[in-house]
């Protein structure tokens, strides 16, 4: 029983839902308040793809992009520690658990003592003796790692860097449960899961442009520069969405694929106050993100991903320029939870970026800077603090024909690209074909 669907939000969650819904025979309209689709992804660095990101790979396969990424080489994961030491986490093409055991054994980022404690914990975890504590979602990752024998230097130099990369926050702000689940999925479930790929194409040409082209071909309707102001309810259903120009759209199904803070203003006060599903959204919070893109007149042979300890930026990506000039390269610098950086001038931020870049990617001569872009996102990343998991909503709301999508919803993943794509997919699956 195909019908009509209105999707509020043209980010990757809404676009994924639109793709699946059209395949199921639905007529889909996407409302986006910006002039272009893509949301924050329009200014995002290349995605960090792991084999564990099954929803992302499924989407790439449907767009014909999987063959391209399969030809790309594995991107090494490097740690630049505060001492200046550079350490690489090795991808070992061995069956689980051998790849994890040997990878941990040879990883020089951890001391012998830390490695022994980690291997002992992993062995107990695999044997479920004892099982993982039930309260990990309410505990802080830093405290929990200390309880299983990880030293302060290991937590600061390795685990904190991974927490920022995978969850978008430092260990003292991260839920131990989400950190452990993400770590297990990404690095502890077999050789394929640990293979990491960073495409050298921008995310617009790599993902958004082909997705928009496929949706246009499918006949999905886009209403750009259009703002939804109110959802109207009658008993257990949504009966329409009002736009800023006072017109009303009516459909069989509605999906709010919006940032968390934009959902509640669309709802009548009686709905927010009556349903805990919507009340709990106020308990969620976001942290800032600063992204810098440098275009350099200096070639790069391969893509590199470096995690930095005690620097202004928390990780950096350098890749060859595949789109403009083959003798140039692009460097992306990302800082999470850096509110002080937001207030600095573009010139100051670029200087800090160049300083960190020289440490992450040392060269014999100083590369010439062609262009630099600074992107500030004051409310970008869902803060994965303890207790957050219980407040992240499932896609199915208390209303029969209303669903919620976004990386911040409850997908089992941190608020990342995989979570956004998976949320859109699950909303589409919940609507009968």
* Per-residue model confidence as pLDDT tens digits over 66-121: 666 666 777 888 999 988 889 887 655 544 544 555 566 567 788 889 888 887 88
- 220 and 299 assigned to the same domain: no
275 belongs to a structural domain: yes
- 190 and 206 assigned to the same domain: no
79 belongs to a structural domain: no
74 belongs to a structural domain: no
**For residue 196, what pLDDT is reported?**
83
- 223 and 173 assigned to the same domain: no
Least-confidence region, from 119-123, 217-221, 428-432: 119-123
131 belongs to a structural domain: yes
- 29 and 176 assigned to the same domain: no
For residue 302, what is the domain's CATH number?
3.90.660.10
- 17 and 142 assigned to the same domain: no
**For residue 102, what pLDDT is reported?**
53
77 belongs to a structural domain: no
**CB under 8 Å to 337, separation ≥6 — which residues?**
164, 168, 169, 170, 173, 287, 288, 381
- 98 and 244 assigned to the same domain: no
- 344 and 398 assigned to the same domain: no
For residue 178, what is the domain's CATH number?
1.10.405
- 267 and 310 assigned to the same domain: no
pLDDT over 70 for what percent of the chain?
90
266 belongs to a structural domain: yes
**For residue 77, what pLDDT is reported?**
86
**For residue 115, what pLDDT is reported?**
84
Q: Which two tokens stand for residue 74?
A: 């594995």
- 42 and 19 assigned to the same domain: yes
- 189 and 96 assigned to the same domain: yes
- 166 and 29 assigned to the same domain: no
pTM of the model: 0.92
* Domains: count for the chain: 3
Q: How far apart are CA 190 and CA 192, in angstroms?
A: 6
**For residue 200, what pLDDT is reported?**
78
Question: Where in the sequence is the domain holding 261, given as residue range(s)?
Answer: 4-69+202-284+385-430
213 belongs to a structural domain: yes
For residue 32, what is the domain's CATH number?
3.50.50.60
- 280 and 319 assigned to the same domain: no
Q: Among the three residues 164, 194, 224, which one is the final residue of a domain in this structure?
A: 194
User: HEC states along the chain?
Assistant: CCCEEEEECCCHHHHHHHHHHHHCCCEEEEECCCCCCCHHHHHCCCCCEECCCHHHHHHHHHCCCHHHHHHCCCCCEEEECCCCCEEEECCCCCCCCHHHHHHHHHCCCCCHHHHHHHHHHHHHHHHCCCCCCCCHHHCEHHHHHHHCCCCHHHHHHHHHHHHHHHHCCCHHHCEHHHHHHHHHHHHCCCCCCCCEECCCCCHHHHHHHHHHHHHHHHCCEEECCCCEEEEEEECCEEEEEEECCCCEECCCEEEECCCHHHHHHHCCHHHHHHCHHHHHHHHCCEEEEEEEEEEEECCCCCCEEEEECCCCCCEEEEEECCCCCCCCEEEEEEEECCHHHHCCCHHHHHHHHHHHHHHHCCCCCCCEEEEEEEEEEEEEEECCCCCCHHHCCCCECCCCCEEECCCCCCCCCCCCHHHHHHHHHHHHHHCCC
């Amino acid at each position: 029983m195909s019908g009509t669907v209105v999707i509020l939000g043209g980010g990757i969650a809404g676009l994924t839902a639109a793709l699946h819904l059209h395949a199921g025979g639905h007529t889909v309209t996407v409302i986006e308040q910006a002039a272009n689709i893509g949301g924050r992804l329009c200014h995002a660095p290349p995605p960090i793809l792991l084999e564990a990101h099954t929803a992302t790979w499924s989407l790439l396969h449907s767009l014909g992009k999987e063959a391209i990424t399969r030809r790309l080489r594995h991107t090494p994961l490097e740690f630049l520690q505060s001492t200046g030491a550079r350490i690489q986490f090795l991808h070992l093409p061995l069956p689980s658990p051998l790849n994890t055991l040997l990878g941990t054994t040879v990883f020089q980022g951890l001391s012998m003592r830390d490695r022994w404690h980690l291997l002992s914990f992993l062995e107990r975890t695999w044997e479920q003796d004892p099982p993982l504590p039930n309260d990990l979602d309410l505990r802080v990752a830093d405290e929990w790692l200390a309880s299983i024998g990880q030293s302060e230097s290991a937590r600061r130099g390795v685990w904190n860097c991974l927490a920022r990369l995978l969850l978008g926050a430092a260990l003292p702000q991260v839920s131990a449960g989400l950190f452990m689940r993400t770590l297990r999925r990404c690095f502890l479930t077999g050789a394929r899961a640990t293979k990491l790929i960073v495409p050298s194409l921008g995310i617009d040409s790599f993902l958004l442009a082909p997705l928009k082209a496929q949706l246009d071909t499918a006949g999905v309707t886009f209403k750009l520069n259009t703002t939804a102001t109110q959802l109207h309810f009658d008993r257990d259903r949504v009966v329409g969405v009002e736009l800023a120009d006072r017109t009303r759209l009516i459909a069989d199904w509605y999906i709010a694929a919006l940032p968390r803070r934009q959902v509640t203003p669309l709802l009548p006060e009686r709905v927010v106050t009556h349903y805990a599903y919507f009340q709990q959204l106020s308990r969620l919070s976001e942290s800032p993100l600063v992204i810098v893109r440098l275009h350099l007149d200096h070639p790069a042979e391969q893509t590199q991903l470096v995690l930095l300890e005690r620097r202004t930026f928390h990780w950096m990506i350098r890749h060859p320029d595949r789109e403009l000039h083959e003798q140039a390269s692009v460097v992306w610098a990302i800082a999470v939870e850096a509110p002080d950086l937001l207030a600095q001038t573009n010139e100051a931020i670029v200087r800090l970026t160049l300083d960190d870049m020289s440490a992450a990617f040392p060269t014999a001569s100083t590369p010439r800077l062609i262009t630099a872009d600074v992107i500030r996102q004051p409310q970008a990343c869902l803060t994965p603090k303890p207790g957050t998991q219980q407040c992240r909503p499932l896609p199915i709301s208390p209303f029969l024909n209303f669903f919620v999508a976004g990386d911040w919803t409850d997908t089992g993943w941190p608020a990342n690209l995989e979570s956004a794509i998976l949320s859109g997919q699950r909303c589409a699956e919940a609507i009968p074909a």
